[in-house]
Structure 1
Amino acid sequence: MSADQVFHSRSEGIPSEGVKDQYADGKAARTWNKFIGDSNERTQNYKDFLIGLLKKNGCKKVLDTACGTGIDSMMLVNEGFKVVSVDASDKMLKHALKARWERRKDSKYDEWVIEEANWETLPRDIEAFLPNTQFDAVICLGNSFAHLLDEYGDQRMQKMCLRNFAKCLKPGGLLFIDHRNYDAIIDSGATPGHSIYYNCKYPVDIKTSVLVVGGKAQLVALDYCINDDANSEKSEFRLCYFPHKLDKFTAMLDEAFDNRAKHEIYADFKPLSAVPVPSFYIHVLEKARD
């Protein structure tokens, strides 16, 4: 079901094909950039988790499939990884391209590749600018995958995109992908205003709306209100998400890797058993080596 069948997103627009670009008017992209800050404002738990696992598994070449403004990609570039960053939103990519230009005197940024690409055609898109390339790791974090809604009612496009992520990995490569704890959001009707990913310097309120059809949650709309008291500014925008349930999403991921991947699930970057009601679930899958 499309978000616009029920909710009118404050950010409207369609990219050339595939995933709806909820940042297309530029307003949400600018506000989101303020919301997440820069790479120095990433939480230490997040940095230690992601970079630690990448280095532990010998990953060097990383594909960031939802790079947005490029914050996570810059964090990885700064740590010495070879990063390819893609996004379906050209408005978000403008911020990433600007960030790369501002760091043009830093040699680490010479090989940072930034291109527009779509999850539904990802292997073909990557082939167009980096032929015969597979990656040591693919990341899709920050609740990004939930932007892809269920247009047909059977999650076929979501399943195809997960398979595309798997295709981009070398044997033994890692997929990092996450989603909010939609089980808890649906049960409580509320979304935590804080994030495990970044230390936002502004007060944030999130109004949560859950669309239920036939007794089943079909869509979650989050209305963000960010208050910049120092400048007497208030920014508001809405983003719509597909509410992935943990069990179903876990099964879809396993299926995308032909049920042959090693699959670990973390709760807010900690062992699953350590956090009773996490804000996020983070899945890490290792592609079979043969």
Structure 2
Amino acid sequence: MKLERTKQDYGTNPLKVRDTNHYQAEYIQSFVEKWDELIDWDGRAQSEGDFFMQLLEEHGARKVLDVATGTGFHSVQLLRAGFEVTSADGNPVMLAKAFENARRNEKILRTVQADWRWLNRDVHDYYDAVICLGNSFTHLHDENDRRKALAEFYATLRHDGILILDQRNYDAILDHQIAPTHNYYYCGENVRAQPEHVDDTLARFRYEFPGDHVFHLNMFPLRKEYTRRLLHEVGFQRVTTYGDFKETYRDEEPDFFIHVAEKSYVEGGDEV
């Protein structure tokens, strides 16, 4: 029987943990149980509105693969809106929590545990859309892992499918030392989520919950244009980028960027 991890383990030097595989040791049971306090489902739903539903409907998408379901927020929202959803995550503790949350919301998730780098080994279907939300893509610390994951997303999409992928505005954090505002994504009122260390290869965030519960995540600080370039290089034809659910924004302002990458050939260039 595998023993459940009771605390995060970053070794003697946490700043050296720049390894994609380490996410399994980060999302321990006690952290996952606190995760929804950070998200605040009601606050998140209010801030997002029907942004993602509208995007999917504009592109004619009904069948959706949520590759980073986490505790299930977006999967449940999409199910409520009538989409057909498959919920995937690499962490079994997250998947179990997502299933439990869905049951509380009177929904049944179709779940699959899958590592993005070998997604199609475990997911045997084609989808109108793949969503990768919640800053999840920054868990990939190696460029080869990022390219492999994007190629797997691309392969599971139908010929006219779209990928919706978000990321923190690391450009603002790296270049302007602007701390995240948490106006849209992490809405929990009694939780603090702040960068503890940031350089070009690592963004280490500290999460403080009531009762002196402290956790950390080590992520790769993706720059916006770098992500857009990778999306093109794996084959996506056009990439439209939104800032905090708006198509017009100033680069230093948004907390998050949301990229919508289209697989099918469309005339006309990119949209920022």
Q: Give the TM-score normalised by structure 2.
A: 0.85
| Alpha carbons of structure 1 residues 8 and 220: separation in structure 2 relative to 1, 3 Å | closer
Aligned-pair identity (%): 32
SS at match of 1:191: coil
Equivalences for residues 1-290 of structure 1 within 5 A: 6-7=13-14, 20-38=23-41, 40-103=42-105, 106=106, 109-110=107-108, 112-127=109-124, 133-150=125-142, 155-211=143-199, 217-227=200-210, 233-257=211-235, 260-273=236-249, 276-288=252-264
SS at match of 2:70: coil
| Alpha carbons of structure 1 residues 135 and 47: separation in structure 2 relative to 1, 3 Å | farther
SS at match of 2:196: strand
Conserved in 2, the CA contact under 8 Å of 1:45 and 1:269?
A: no
SS at match of 1:200: coil
Say which is worse superposed, 167-176 or 199-208, in terms of deviation.
199-208
Conserved in 1, the CA contact under 8 Å of 2:191 and 2:207?
A: no
Conserved in 2, the CA contact under 8 Å of 1:43 and 1:197?
A: no
* CA distance in structure 1 between the aligned counterparts of 2:28 and 2:50, rounded to whole angstroms: 34
Conserved in 2, the CA contact under 8 Å of 1:193 and 1:204?
A: no
| Alpha carbons of structure 1 residues 279 and 5: separation in structure 2 relative to 1, 3 Å | farther
CA deviation after TM superposition for structure 1 residue 234, in Å: 3.3
CA deviation after TM superposition for structure 1 residue 120, in Å: 0.6
Amino acid at match of 2:259: H
Question: How much is the aligned-residue C-alpha RMSD, in angstroms?
Answer: 2.6
SS at match of 2:87: strand
SS at match of 2:23: coil
| Alpha carbons of structure 1 residues 261 and 19: separation in structure 2 relative to 1, 3 Å | farther
Aligned residues: 256
Conserved in 2, the CA contact under 8 Å of 1:89 and 1:116?
A: yes
CA displacement, residues 183-216 of structure 1 (integer Å, 9 cap, x when unaligned): 11112445315142353232424143024xxxxx
Conserved in 1, the CA contact under 8 Å of 2:70 and 2:89?
A: yes
SS at match of 2:212: strand
Amino acid at match of 1:235: H
The runs of at least 4 aligned residues of structure 1 exceeding 6 Å deviation read none
Q: Which runs of 5+ in 1 are unaligned?
A: 128-132, 212-216, 228-232
Conserved in 2, the CA contact under 8 Å of 1:85 and 1:113?
A: yes
Conserved in 2, the CA contact under 8 Å of 1:23 and 1:91?
A: no
Say which is worse superposed, 41-50 or 24-33, in terms of deviation.
41-50
* CA distance in structure 1 between the aligned counterparts of 2:145 and 2:14, rounded to whole angstroms: 21
Q: Give the TM-score normalised by structure 1.
A: 0.80
SS at match of 2:122: helix
